[in-house]
Structure 1
Amino acid sequence: MKQMTSTEWIAHALAAEPLRSKSLVMTVMGDAIAPHGGVAWLGSLIELLAPLGVTDRLVRTSVFRLVQEGWLTASREGRRSRYAFDAKSLPRFQRADRRIYAPPGLHWDGRWTLVLAPNGSIDGGLRAAVRKELEWEGFAMLAPGVLARPGADAEGLLDALERTGARDKVFVVSAAELPHVGSRPLQELVGEGWDLTAVAQSYCGFIDQFTPLLTLLRDEAQVAPPDAFAIRSLLIHAYRRLQLHDPMLPIALLPDPWPGSDAYQVARAVYLMVAAQAEVHIDAVLKREDASAPAADDAFYQRFGGLRGG
């Protein structure tokens, strides 16, 4: 049987699962545009997203909604529109960037962060908003008014509390297991607060989807720049969605073996094989709208443990 080509793999992936255009715009902004100054003309976004099945109209609708939701800002120069990350959303993009391209498993000192909102201290609407934001940061509700996670990111926690207006309305404490009192090990709280079954299954599905692509790329002499960009975008789009549902708990608290570790290795291997050719395409597209568009910054080459020479 004739082996599928990378171009055929892209077509198959796009046909297998229709992608939400707004979410795909976010992926391209974060993966492709952020390293190039974080700014793109509408025409560049339309050209980049066209091979991914996103029409001109859907790109326009998506960026309009992202501006309305505070993720992007828009500016005009004559008849042209330019889009950039909103200053308020930029820290969240940067944390997501670190989360996507860094290896799984955080160093953990054994301490937990608790966010306490006793009954009556905040109203129901704010309580729901805080829970939603903190669950995105990997917290779990262990009891009414008690959200917790091991190894919390203080920057992300502060940003979430400020964004919801809860910073001065909840209690935030750091806690550790009290030794020699016969309590259950705090590690057992993971089973109480987080159901990792679906997360693990999603990682296994990702591995099944992209491992054949890795074999295909190894057999091809070189992938054309537009195809390399499409593969890189589809890879990160799929991997980013996994990350959004993964609480990113310390490796010491995860089941062993943890499929997230294997998924990271597959993502890294594919990314390293297409990153350079994808950059050729991104540079060409951005420079068609703006000859002074910057090349990818140094931070880009630190992704997945380092891209240079990979």
Structure 2
Amino acid sequence: MEKQFNTRSMIFTLFGDYIRHYGNVIWIGSLIRLLQEFGHNEQSVRAAISRMYKQGWVQSEKRGNKSYYSLTERGKARMEEASKRIYKIDSPIWDGNWRILVYTIPEEKRHLRDELRKELVWSGFGLLSNSCWITPNPLEEQVQNLIEKYDIAPYVSFFSSTYEGMGKEVDLVSKCWNLDEVNNRYQEFIQEYSQKYVIDKNKLSKGELTDGDCFVKCAMLVHQYRKFLFVDPNLPKELLPEKWLGDSAASLFSDYYNMLNKPATAFFETVFEQGELSTTK
């Protein structure tokens, strides 16, 4: 089939949704076989996993002449956080406080700014003003991990406080996040995948989808939905617009995922077990 997503992103999806639940270790041969289902060749898989290794997401291990890969502690923590947000049922409960992170990173460490910015956006922080980031969610642990990871404790101040104005808290939200744009993206997701859901439900009931088909469709569904982690700050209900579509999108995702999950997992296990068996030969 035609390749639609980059190899590295698909490897993250497979680790997050499958491999980490199966001992967190996979033989490179099995990974290559799984990625073939999405149109990725051996060379692109090896190049992507090598890049992930250099970035500290995965670690490698040799057993005989075979290479195995697993998530590092950093990789496991990221997958765990992503999973909680992808499969969440409700918006977080708000305690009424805002967390504020301010940093003054010196010029000689400016390469850290872009990295830190990406991490903060991914975690759901919004930029209020230059180097001042806010979130209503209790992300103290994530902040502490970032400070340790980038070794920037001397340059960071972190506060928890209430908003005293001037204006309403929804106005504060509009300064930091473009929720209309996020809502439009949810609408597009719902339009596209509600149609696909009906079609695939019908095909599945007629036995017209193989386990391999379901594996590809399920992984692509997760992969597409996972993109919202980079744009949706996961705000409490009190701070969301009236006609927020995030919950409807989450419900559709959950129904579609649950429909495909069993046959998709069966396919994954077949390839995964074949890899395990091949190591004894």
TM-score (norm 1): 0.82
Match of 1:215 among 174, 178, 198: 198
Secondary structure of residue in 2 paired with 1:82: strand
Q: Distance in 1 between matches of 2:107 and 2:133?
A: 14
- State yes or no: 1:269 paired with 2:255: yes
Q: 1:59 to 1:105 in 2, by over 3 A?
A: same
- State yes or no: 1:85 paired with 2:68: no
Aligned partner of 2:97 in structure 1 is 111
Which letter does structure 2 place at the counterpart of 1:191? Answer: S
Aligned partner of 1:296 in structure 2 is none
- How many Å apart are 1:107 and its aligned residue? 0.8
Which letter does structure 2 place at the counterpart of 1:143? Answer: S
Which letter does structure 2 place at the counterpart of 1:149? Answer: T
Percentage of matched positions with identical amino acids: 28
Which letter does structure 2 place at the counterpart of 1:167? Answer: A
Q: Distance in 1 between matches of 2:24 and 2:109?
A: 37
Structure 1, gaps ≥5 residues long: 1-10, 294-310
Structure 2, gaps ≥5 residues long: none
Match of 2:148 among 143, 157, 162: 162
8 Å contact kept, 2:122–2:229: no
Count of residue pairs brought into register by the alignment: 276
Q: Distance in 1 between matches of 2:107 and 2:7?
A: 39
Aligned partner of 1:188 in structure 2 is 171
Match of 1:137 among 123, 132, 142: 123
Secondary structure of residue in 1 paired with 2:93: coil
Aligned partner of 1:259 in structure 2 is 245
| CA shift digits 1:138-173 (9 cap, x unpaired) | 112212232111123222222122222223431111
Q: Distance in 2 between matches of 1:230 and 1:278?
A: 8
Aligned partner of 1:304 in structure 2 is none
Q: 1:42 to 1:275 in 2, by over 3 A?
A: same
Secondary structure of residue in 1 paired with 2:59: strand
Match of 2:232 among 223, 242, 246: 246
8 Å contact kept, 1:22–1:66: yes
Which letter does structure 1 place at the counterpart of 2:191? Answer: D
8 Å contact kept, 1:110–1:151: no
- State yes or no: 1:285 paired with 2:275: no
Secondary structure of residue in 2 paired with 1:116: strand
8 Å contact kept, 2:105–2:113: no
Q: Distance in 2 between matches of 1:122 and 1:201?
A: 40
Q: 1:118 to 1:230 in 2, by over 3 A?
A: closer
Q: Distance in 2 between matches of 1:119 and 1:47?
A: 44
8 Å contact kept, 1:126–1:166: no
Which letter does structure 2 place at the counterpart of 1:234? Answer: M
Which letter does structure 1 place at the counterpart of 2:276? Answer: D
Aligned partner of 1:227 in structure 2 is 213
Aligned partner of 1:199 in structure 2 is 182
Q: Distance in 2 between matches of 1:119 and 1:281?
A: 48
Aligned partner of 1:5 in structure 2 is none
- How many Å apart are 1:124 and its aligned residue? 3.9
Q: 1:60 to 1:123 in 2, by over 3 A?
A: closer
- How many Å apart are 1:269 and its aligned residue? 0.8
Match of 2:37 among 51, 63, 69: 51
Q: Distance in 2 between matches of 1:237 and 1:127?
A: 27
Q: Distance in 1 between matches of 2:60 and 2:105?
A: 41
